[in-house]
Amino acid sequence: MHSKTKRIFAVIMFVCVVFALIFSAIFVISHINHECTDEHCPVCAQIHNIENLLKKLFSALGFFAVGILLSCGLLRIRNAFSRLKNTDINTLIGKKIRLNI
């Protein structure tokens, strides 16, 4: 899959998640004080489904945030080690490139 296609797919997925969050919140707010007719109320069932969806989304966001923090920490540790060895790979010396040839 091309990079541009992946980017478009990611944007579409992000927009879908944001719309799901917004409309779920609107549904819950507008039906929070509804009159329950019986034990198998469809509105209460829908509110329960939204509650589960929000729990899953926020736990996924938590895992995503932990992943980003771990990768940033690993990058900092790698950069610190490369500075200690004085072989920073982002410099000409680190890449072993000579300019006087």
Q: Given the rule CB under 5 A, which residues bind Zn ion?
A: 36, 41, 43-44
- As measured in angstroms, the least distance from the Cβ of 7 to Zn ion is 42
Nearer to Zn ion, 32 or 36 (CB): 36
Nearer to Zn ion, 36 or 97 (CB): 36
**DSSP string for residues in 26-69:** HHHHHTTT----STT-HHHHHHHHHHHHHHHHHHHHHHHHHHHH
Residue with tokens 């509650």: 51
- As measured in angstroms, the least distance from the Cβ of 21 to Zn ion is 22
Nearer to Zn ion, 29 or 36 (CB): 36
Q: What is the DSSP letter of 91?
A: S
CB atoms within 10 A of CB 27: 14
- As measured in angstroms, the least distance from the Cβ of 50 to Zn ion is 13
Q: Which residue is nearest to Zn ion (CB)?
A: 41
